[in-house]
Amino acid sequence: MITPEKDHALRFAIIGAGMAGILAAIKLTAAGFTDFAVYEKADRLGGTWRENTYPGISCDVPSHLYSYSFALTPEWSRRYSPGAEIQAYFERVARDHDLAPHLRFGEEVIRCDFVDGRWHLETASGHRDEVDVVIAATGVLHHPNIPDIEGLDGFEGAAFHSSRWDHEVALDGARVGVIGTGSTAVQIVGAIVERVGKLSLFQRTAQWVVQQENPAYADDERAEFRRTPALLTDLHSDLSRQFSVFARAVVDADSPEMKMLEEVCRANLEDTVRDPELRERLRPNYRAACKRLVVSPNFYEAIQHPNAELITEGIERVEPSGIRTRDGRLHELDVLVLATGFKAAAFMRPMGVTGRDGLTLEKAWADRPSAYLSVTIPGFPNFFMLNGPNGPVGNFSLIEVAELQFAYIMQLVEGLRIGEFDEISASTRALESFEAARLEAAKKTIWMTGCRSWYLDDRGVPAVWPWPFERFRAEMREPKLEDFEAR
């Protein structure tokens, strides 16, 4: 490697102003890097919490864990706070750290090209930038998955994806259909069932549901957090340890923790759903947590509400007045909600990215997305991702994941700053070794026990971190420079 002889003044581009982009901007500033821009395609920050405003939205990670470790707050209203409160939290943290001068809203990055040792960016508006380092904080679940259902465009009522909720549409007394039974659909059903005239939930696959109550924090609890900030730190640490137990469970399908979790889900179903026939239609035919576990305080109560109906017959087509199922029945609707998830493998795309020697991201990911430790891609020097492919998206708080990843990235950036190297990215050998180990470890996880889920890639292999979270922390502690190609 080059002997350090100089202190480079580096310019950065952060793509995305969601949770991870805000984190990156704050941490860059704290490290003394002030020459950077945050490019955001929307008109304000927030990422998924800006995009998703559907009734009942909340995070399925407790709020005191789904918080930046450096910006813990005593003000969370509930154990699982609503989406608008989470959005307000990110806006407040950004203001507190004076990020406004760095934010460029309405600037969707459409191209990133590595030319002569620097990244050349272009946005949809025609703006151009030239930077030394790109940090892609583009999120995981942001490209809506619209189902290919015959007649969908001909529906005469209001129809929209859950992430594009139309708040102008009246729900009170309406006949509302929800397609999907994942976390989003469950939250929507619980929030609107008592408002609508009729709720029809179209279920393709039953979900295991773990019941978690969502109590409000009392005024005196929040006051105590304000008086004693150490309580917030302790609570954050305790919640992190508790989630590590869950992370260990899902990566070992035969673990005692996994079996205990399955029993908790089974008991929730059997103790809460009174009607035996409905209970069996709600019972999945796969193991708990094979799909992303659904957390809800009230879904089973909501689906038993007198004006709610669970429909398990397949959808034949959408007609102008409703949904026709394969048994010939027409379910008349005024509103149709597509709670059908996202294209999880899209990541940065459709943005065009071209690395060293003309290597495009489309070619590098021709088979499927992959990245060494979910952070760096061979052939794309000085280009780093937060919450990239194959990380712990399925089993931990993405804020803690991003914080660990960014600390790891900054150790590589330090080598750039002092001139130890000018370009750095993972080696092909390191990625291939990582992928081989990941695929072998995946065989033991709960995600490979026999279900279809958005975790699985085209081979049926879960595209998530298959080891305990303690290993992720250890890997993020310090880069193994022998796994990198530096120039």
Q: What is the pLDDT of residues 410-432, one digit of tens each?
A: 999 999 999 999 999 999 999 99
In terms of domains, do 329 and 374 share one? Answer: no
* Segment 454-468 mean pLDDT: 91
> How many Cα atoms sit within 13 Å of 276 on the Cβ side?
0
* Segment 449-477 mean pLDDT: 93
Answer whether residue 3 shows pLDDT above 50: no
Answer whether residue 288 shows pLDDT above 50: yes
In terms of domains, do 156 and 187 share one? Answer: yes
In terms of domains, do 160 and 309 share one? Answer: yes
Q: What pLDDT was estimated at residue 395?
A: 64
* Segment 374-384 mean pLDDT: 98
**Mean pLDDT score across all residues of the chain:** 95
In terms of domains, do 259 and 400 share one? Answer: no
Q: Does 311 fall in a domain?
A: yes
In terms of domains, do 169 and 282 share one? Answer: yes
- Distance in Å from the first CA to the final CA of the chain: 7
Share of the chain above pLDDT 70, in %: 98
Answer whether residue 470 shows pLDDT above 80: yes
Q: Decide which of 274, 308, 338 is a domain's last residue.
A: 338
Q: Does 77 fall in a domain?
A: yes
Q: Decide which of 286, 317, 338 is a domain's last residue.
A: 338
Answer whether residue 461 shows pLDDT above 60: yes
Task: Estimate the crossing angle of helix 229-250 against helix 469-477, to 10 degrees.
Answer: 110
Answer whether residue 374 shows pLDDT above 60: yes
Model confidence band, residue 362 (pLDDT cutoffs 50, 70, 90): very high
Answer whether residue 89 shows pLDDT above 80: yes
Model confidence band, residue 269 (pLDDT cutoffs 50, 70, 90): very high
Rounded distance, CA 399 to CA 411, Å?
Answer: 19
* Segment 354-374 mean pLDDT: 95
In terms of domains, do 163 and 139 share one? Answer: no
Answer whether residue 99 shows pLDDT above 50: yes
In terms of domains, do 473 and 375 share one? Answer: yes
Answer whether residue 215 shows pLDDT above 80: yes
In terms of domains, do 195 and 232 share one? Answer: yes
Share of the chain above pLDDT 90, in %: 90
Tell me the pLDDT tens digit for each residue of 303-358: 999 999 999 999 999 999 999 999 999 999 999 999 999 876 667 878 999 999 99
* Segment 86-101 mean pLDDT: 98
In terms of domains, do 310 and 357 share one? Answer: no
In terms of domains, do 43 and 75 share one? Answer: yes
Q: What pLDDT was estimated at residue 282?
A: 98
Model confidence band, residue 5 (pLDDT cutoffs 50, 70, 90): very low
Q: Does 5 fall in a domain?
A: no
Q: Does 1 fall in a domain?
A: no
* Beta strands 36-40; 103-105: pairing state: parallel
Q: What pLDDT was estimated at residue 57?
A: 97
Answer whether residue 360 shows pLDDT above 50: yes
Model confidence band, residue 479 (pLDDT cutoffs 50, 70, 90): very high
Answer whether residue 112 shows pLDDT above 60: yes
Q: Does 6 fall in a domain?
A: no
Answer whether residue 1 shows pLDDT above 50: no
In terms of domains, do 382 and 354 share one? Answer: yes
At 320, which amino acid appears? P
Answer whether residue 402 shows pLDDT above 70: yes
10, 132 contact by CB (below 8 A): yes
Q: Which domain holds residue 449?
A: 12-143+343-486
* Segment 204-209 mean pLDDT: 97
Q: What pLDDT was estimated at residue 346?
A: 67
Q: What pLDDT was estimated at residue 4?
A: 37
State the total domains in the chain: 2
Q: What pLDDT was estimated at residue 134?
A: 98
CATH number, domain with residue 170: 3.50.50.60
Q: Decide which of 284, 310, 338 is a domain's last residue.
A: 338
Tell me the pLDDT tens digit for each residue of 166-189: 999 999 999 999 999 999 999 999
